[in-house]
Amino acid sequence: MSLPGVVIPFVKASACGNDFLLVDAAVIAGDLAADMGGITRRMCDRHEGVGADGVEWMYPHASADVEIRLINNDGSEAEISGNGTRCVAAYVCAERGLEKITIQTGAGLKTCVLTASRESEYEFEAEMGEAAVGAELAVKLGDGEVRGIPVSMGNPHYVVFAPEFAEDWRTQAAEIQHSGQFKQGVNVQMVTVDGKHDVSVLFFERGVGETQSSGTGSCASAVAAIATRRAESPVRVHAPGGTQRVRLENELVYLRGAARLVCRGEFFLS
């Protein structure tokens, strides 16, 4: 059988339903490397491609186990995904047998420590650095305004607390993203507080839209809940894709959750 065009090997992984394609960036070069956003869009298309929330392009690094560049499924670049980073850690763990994996991201060096594994599923706790929590910020919408907490986890978040999730929360989240108040765009989290150590979250991310989960979004939601005295560390963050755990220690944020290696294959770039 004659294969069309360039063949790009990939591994697909999922962390609480947040799915990523993991690709060795060395497989593309020259003009192809210059169109990484376009290639990512094609690979992530859920009808004409493999389907994913984004691609973690992997590079060798002098002092870390791997360096990654995250491109969302719309072709835009992001600083980091906590779940995507954990997916890469699962891949490195499976390929090299490492239990402590250092990963250079666009938001700095992250260390993932293996806490459990079973078949193709791996659980890690990752040190996510310090969170920068801002003062409550009002965002004007077409039918009023919403108030939320801006949080940076190396990427921008806006956390909105409510007693319950509104039916039109996706529309509201999209309007927040396009409000013009966030120069780098923003990841929106809608949060309900379920108890002293439990929150439920819905995610609407830059370059993707609604996702089943988010690692940095889980951290931002938990930290915002702690900062506003709605919750205490550690916090279980419940999302449609599953539960992650966030704790604070000496101002550092730690994220614990699972990542599963789903499959490997080849994408035909014709």
29-56 pLDDT tens trace: 888 888 999 999 999 999 999 999 999 9
Q: Which of 166, 230, 169 is nearest to 198 (CA)?
A: 230
Is the model's pLDDT at 3 over the cut of 80?
no
Output phi, psi for 199, to 5 deg. Answer: -135, 150
Look at residue 263 and tell me whether its pLDDT is greater than 90. yes
Q: Residue 266: how many CB atoms within 10 A of its CB?
A: 11
* Same fold: 6-127+258-269 with 132-254: yes
Residue type, 238: H
Write out pLDDT tens, residues 183-201: 999 999 999 999 999 999 9
Residue 244 makes CB contacts below 8 A (sequence gap 6+) with 16, 213, 215, 218, 236, 237, 255, 256, 257
Q: What is the pLDDT of residue 2?
A: 58
Task: For residue 180, give the 3-state DSSP assignment.
Answer: coil
Tokens matching residue 125? 């706790």
- Is the CB of residue 90 less than 8 Å from the CB of residue 128? no
Paired sense of beta strands 54-59 and 18-24, if any: parallel
Q: What gap in Å lies between CA 241 and CA 185, rounded to an integer?
A: 24
- Residue 68 near residue 59 (C-beta atoms within 8 A): yes
Task: Work out the mean pLDDT of the chain and round it to a whole number.
Answer: 96
Tell me the per-residue pLDDT of 189-236, one tens digit each, with 9 for 90 and over.
999 999 999 999 999 999 999 999 999 999 999 999 999 999 999 999
pLDDT of residue 30: 83
What's the pTM?
Answer: 0.95
Q: Which pLDDT band holds residue 168 (cuts at 50, 70, 90)?
A: very high
Query: Of 83, 76, 48, which is closest to residue 212 (Cα–Cα)?
Result: 83
Range 113-129 average pLDDT? 97
Report the alpha-carbon distance of residue 58 to residue 10 in Å, rounded.
11
Residue 39 near residue 50 (C-beta atoms within 8 A): no
Q: Are 58 and 90 in contact (CB under 8 A)?
A: no
Q: At 46, which amino acid appears?
A: R
> Of 24-33, 85-94, 181-190, 244-253, where does mean pLDDT reach its minimum?
24-33
Q: Which of 47, 204, 31 is nearest to 39 (CA)?
A: 31
Which pLDDT belongs to residue 196?
A: 98
Question: pLDDT-derived band of residue 261, with 50, 70 and 90 as boundaries?
Answer: very high
Assign a CATH topology to domain 6-127+258-269.
Diaminopimelate Epimerase; Chain A, domain 1 (3.10.310)
- Expressed in angstroms, the distance from the first to the final Cα of the chain is 15
Average pLDDT, stretch 248-252?
96
Report how far residue 83's alpha carbon sits from residue 151's, in angstroms, rounded to the nearest whole number: 17
For the chain, percent helix, then strand, then coil, each to nearest 5?
Answer: 20, 50, 30
Percent of the chain residues topping a pLDDT of 90 = 93
pLDDT at 4 over 70: no
Give the mean pLDDT of 81-107.
98
Domain positions in the chain: 6-127+258-269, 132-254
**Can you read off the two tokens belonging to residue 122?**
């791996």
| Architecture of the domain delimited by 132-254 | Roll (3.10)
Share of the chain above pLDDT 70, in %: 99
Q: What angle do CA 129, 16, 199 make, to 5 degrees?
A: 70
Question: What distance in Å separates the CA atoms of residue 101 and residue 263, rounded to the nearest whole number?
Answer: 21
